[in-house]
Structure 1
Amino acid sequence: MEVSTPISANEFKACFELLRFNIESFIKGKPEVVNMALTCLFAGGHLLIEDIPGVAKTSLAKAIAGSIEGGLFKRVQFTPDLLPSDITGVEIFDPDGREFRFREGPVFANIVLGDEINRAAPRTQSAMLQVMAENEVTISVRTHKVPNPFFCIATQNPADHRGTYPLPEAQLDRFLMRISIGYPSHADEMQVVSQGITGTTPELLHRVVGIAQVRSMIAFVRTVRVSSALTDYIVRITAGTRTHPAVRLGVSPRGSIAVAAAAQARAAAAGRSFATPDDVKAVARHVLAHRLILAQEALSSEEAADDILQKVIDDVAVPRRP
């Protein structure tokens, strides 16, 4: 059993900054994207990156994995013919030992990249999402734990829906955060092109933090204080999504828990042992927007979930003493 070594708030901040700086040396001009991806990792959640091809979705996952010493990274390219056993693993009969032996699938890694998850059939998607929720795989009657930490980064292209199986709302809810990357600025894109010309890849990054340190950092995040006033603030925000006229189905209590966890991680990254309303506001859009199911009227008016969520947050009074 892996045991985490306790760390301080200052140690957490130093390691977080080291990781962030290292990843940003390859992912140019996207500090908020890198910051949110690492926040999701240390909050103990999973990340969905939804964006068009070619904006470094896969590179971001590889850069995170390439910055961690001792961590195992696996990539799965989702296709319509991919089977659940291709994800989780399968039992194979060993004639010498006269018994079935379990052959692990790619989910048995610390960081798993599921590329274009919406191209796989629903059965295969469910196999992946079940592991994300339970951190274990059950084959026949045996249960196999995945490594700790276990961080899944899934990608999907929102523009091309031909031959895709959109993730149902209940499965989207399994992702702690959804982010997009967007196009780089002119200056940043020039650096990206230069990296491509010279053959610079995320695999060439220095490994600046060990996997044991990552475990300790995740454990530290769980100790960050979330006061009753701040918990009340979070619950009032999520409750506000359930009564908004433009929302058909609001955020569940799982979303409230996710906001609290992400706020804890953001506070830890700032070197604090307590979370604040500003932490909640900073992570709320990335944590909650993909959990909203909009009413038909909102869809027809093209009112974005982000805009609705911002209105809900603006209507909720901020606690004076977090």
Structure 2
Amino acid sequence: MKAILKLILVAVCISLFTGCEKDDDFLLNDAELKKATIVNHDAPGLDHDRFVTMKETGLQVHYRIIGKGPIDMVFIPGWTNPLTVYSKQFDYFRDKARCIYIDLPGTGMSDAPSPATPLNPDATGPQYTMELMADAVYAVIKKEGLHRFVGVGFSMGPTVWSMFERHYPGMIGKLIAIDGNIDPWPTAPDEWQIWFDGREANYLAQLEWDLDTKQFLGGILVPPDSPEDLLEFVEYFWDYPTDILANTNYYAGAPEANELVEWTVPILCLYQDPGTDMDYLNMIYPENEFHAFPGGGHVIHWVFHDEINPLMWDFVKDRPGKKY
């Protein structure tokens, strides 16, 4: 029962954070950014805040470029997270790579229209599918002229990268999964099946989440003794729209979003749990690199950034992005 409870909590709450203008010195407000797409922060490397409009949906996607290269790294956050979930990576990689940090649709400063219910086949309105997320990433990558890069994904991020690989194969040269789901469905363990089979009921329940529920779940995935700036960051989740939260999570659990991807590129897996989840992943994706960081909650790349950032850099530094 303990293992099942833990699995459901992690699957339901792939990440419990949102943040935006208030908690990040790098980020100007929305009006200021739309007046000037290039922002100089008087720091080494280039800091660009930009927007791109998706052709099919008309949604604006916000992203930030920090650094010049020669390696290209593309960071996507998890469920409900803005790009500032990577704040502890900004300065470390600034003089090492050209890093593109993306606010996925519905998060940060990207457009976040209220979605229609996914349970009504006749409903019209936006749906926060993993296909939409992958297309948003591609819109950014196409605009910036990337052809080969290192993909980094936290929490729900690896699920988006898997969808991206199916739709736009061959662009990801290496993949870094940070406490995120790359388990395939439906061949995953029985415990995962419980989550997938119950996702409609879970969607309806998430629409009713109140502040107490969010704080309870946040306390499980972010320990109370976490760094103060992380605890402040998590508070932005309290006001996150539950309709977007539930809609996105519903589609993150869709069977088509969790099919097996035959990855042929190196994968670096960084997880909080050194137990059975990692063992299972290692069986699916053998000969890849796995590390565990127990005791710090879900956002391990924030809590353990002093250890994790060098691991990430050692994994990618040997092959510049444009020469893959």
TM-score range, shorter chain: under 0.3
Q: Which structure ranks higher in relative contact order (CA pairs < 8 Å, sequence separation ≥ 6)?
A: 1
Q: Name the structure with the higher helix share.
A: 1
- TM-score calculated relative to the size of structure 2: 0.27
Larger Cα-atom Rg: 1
